[in-house]
Amino acid sequence: MRQGTISTTAFALATFFVLIAGAPIHGEAPHFTVGEPPRIDARAIVVMDYANGDILYALDPDETIPPASLTKLMTLHVALKAVESGRVSLSDIITIRREEASPHLPYGSSLMYLQEGMHVPFEDLLRGMAVISGNDAAFTVARVLGGSNEGFARLMNDEARALGLGASHFVEPSGLSEENLTTAREMAILARNYLRKHPGALAAYNSRLSMEFPRADVMPDGVPPPDIKILLRNRNGLLFTYEGCDGLKTGYIDESGFNLVATAERDGTRFIVITMGGTYGPASRERGGAMLLDWAFSTWKTVRPAIPSLPEVRVWGGARQRVALNTSEDVSFTVPAVYAGYVSVRLEVDPEASAPVAKGDRMGRLVFTAGDRILRRIDLVASDDAPLGNFLVRIKDAIVRFFSNLFNPKS
């Protein structure tokens, strides 16, 4: 069933409704109504706001579908975590084994054309997965980090559980198997985590239009390099045709159809688009992704309002008299574009509290509005613990508070 309704976007008349997935723990986003995007060739769709992970549009987002080569996004995520933890270095030289070499993989599958005996930097394997969707690269990375495809799949599933992806399950790292399963919603969550946790990955891997491979420096001992430079072209056509697109991945197997994870940024607003189960080919997949991104950029905008200085809260009976406040989340969020130029903020904080106060306790909130329309509420939380003070502190504060309230009663 399609989710969303069609309505006008005129500022004075608009009432807005958006389906929000995974509401923020400490924040609150209201519901908005906007017109749906155009119909495209896909069984399942998610359009996600990058800033907060709000789902702006969804069509059957929880249908389980084999991700095909979108699987490599999880493979890249696990590999980059291994690099960041020091388990492996981008400069480590990996010797390619016979079973990982291109001639021994399924005919017609995506390859970076690894050869037995090649000596390949680990970083090249990551590029091979991101740019050309190399299944040979994915199998090699799996062997290096997990000992085998099966061992690496366990790492992938552990990471899926850590990210809360309850419907996702992986049996190998490339996406060739139809036993890999995920949903459009969970693929969007994975993509957002990938972007947030590996901020350099887009430039280093996913947005690269091509890569040179093989090169003279990686050739097996005694094997001459190619006579000409060979450039492998990125399979994500939106990188070449859509303004602001800088990732992420395409995929296809017969059992799933044509799948896409696309992301694009313009003027500080970024969206993530997932389409799964397309039937009419790569051109239709690309066209559909572009139409969804067009709809997102024309309908929504991410705002980053300035906020007032946050006061300290007086803590009565506490080991510390005052506690500072922090926002519970980043103060950036996506609203219907018609509201973006009219955002103001209101501070709601009780100036005093009673001990004990724990770090992270809700102490107030910021309320963002446009006219009389509430756009978002973001909680203000204690920045530190304020435990109970000793007996003398509590007695003194009780007396001071009594007389303060007596002579300065709250209205």
The CB-side HSE value for 130 (13 A sphere, CA atoms) comes to 27
Residue 213: inside a domain: yes
**By CB neighbour count within 10 A (0-12 exposed, 13-18 middle, 19+ buried), where does 67 fall?**
buried
The whole-number pLDDT of residue 401 equals 80
**By CB neighbour count within 10 A (0-12 exposed, 13-18 middle, 19+ buried), where does 284 fall?**
middle
- Predicted confidence (pLDDT) at residue 3 exceeds the cutoff of 80: no
Coil, helix or strand at residue 320: coil
Residues 370 and 293 in one domain: no
Residues 257 and 288 in one domain: yes
Residues 242 and 320 in one domain: no
Residue 45: inside a domain: no
Q: Where does a domain end: 276, 300, 324? A: 300
Q: What is the 3-state secondary structure (H, E, C) of 153-169?
A: HHHHHHHHHHCCCCCCE
Residues 250 and 379 in one domain: no
Which domain does 353 fall in, by range?
313-407
> Which of 19-33, 168-182, 397-411 is the most confident on average?
168-182
| Contact criterion met (CB below 8 Å) for 181 and 64 | yes
Domains contained in the chain, number? 2
Cis peptide before 73 (omega within 30 of 0): no
| Contact criterion met (CB below 8 Å) for 33 and 269 | no
| CATH number of the domain enclosing 330 | 2.60.410.10
| Contact criterion met (CB below 8 Å) for 327 and 290 | no
Q: Cα(260)–Cα(275) distance, rounded to whole angstroms?
A: 5
Residues 207 and 345 in one domain: no
Q: What percent of the chain has pLDDT over 90?
A: 83
Cα dihedral sign, 318-320-322-323: negative
- Predicted confidence (pLDDT) at residue 391 exceeds the cutoff of 50: yes
**Which of 41, 45, 38 lies closest to 61 in space, CA to CA?**
45
Residues 179 and 217 in one domain: yes
- Predicted confidence (pLDDT) at residue 4 exceeds the cutoff of 60: no
Residue 31: inside a domain: no
Residues 136 and 186 in one domain: yes
Residues 246 and 337 in one domain: no
| CATH number of the domain enclosing 271 | 3.40.710.10
Residues 80 and 202 in one domain: yes
| Strand pairing report for 313-316 and 352-354 | parallel
Residue 41: inside a domain: no
| Contact criterion met (CB below 8 Å) for 106 and 99 | no
Residue 220: inside a domain: yes
Residues 193 and 241 in one domain: yes
Q: Cα(174)–Cα(70) distance, rounded to whole angstroms?
A: 8
Q: Where does a domain end: 235, 266, 300? A: 300
Q: What is the 3-state secondary structure (H, E, C) of 210-264?
A: EEECCCHHHCCCCCCCCCCCCEEECCCCHHHHCCCEEEEEEEEECCCEEEEEEEE
**By CB neighbour count within 10 A (0-12 exposed, 13-18 middle, 19+ buried), where does 295 fall?**
buried
Q: Tell me: the pLDDT tens digits for 215-237?
A: 999 999 999 999 899 999 999 99
- Predicted confidence (pLDDT) at residue 104 exceeds the cutoff of 80: no
The whole-number pLDDT of residue 411 equals 56
Q: Where does a domain end: 238, 266, 300? A: 300
Which secondary-structure segment (H or E) carries 349? Answer: strand 344-349
The whole-number pLDDT of residue 108 equals 66
Mean pLDDT of the chain: 91
- Predicted confidence (pLDDT) at residue 120 exceeds the cutoff of 80: yes
227 contacts: CB under 8 Å, gap ≥ 6: none
Q: Tell me: the pLDDT tens digits for 10-54?
A: 333 333 333 333 333 345 667 788 899 999 999 999 999 999 999
Residues 249 and 356 in one domain: no
Residue 305: inside a domain: no
Q: Model-level pTM?
A: 0.88
Interval 70-81 mean pLDDT: 98
Q: Tell me: the pLDDT tens digits for 194-205?
A: 999 999 999 999
The CA distances from residue 182 to 57, 73, 169, 332, 393, in Å, are: 18, 12, 7, 29, 56
CB atoms near residue 147 (< 10 Å): 12
Q: What percent of the chain has pLDDT over 70?
A: 91
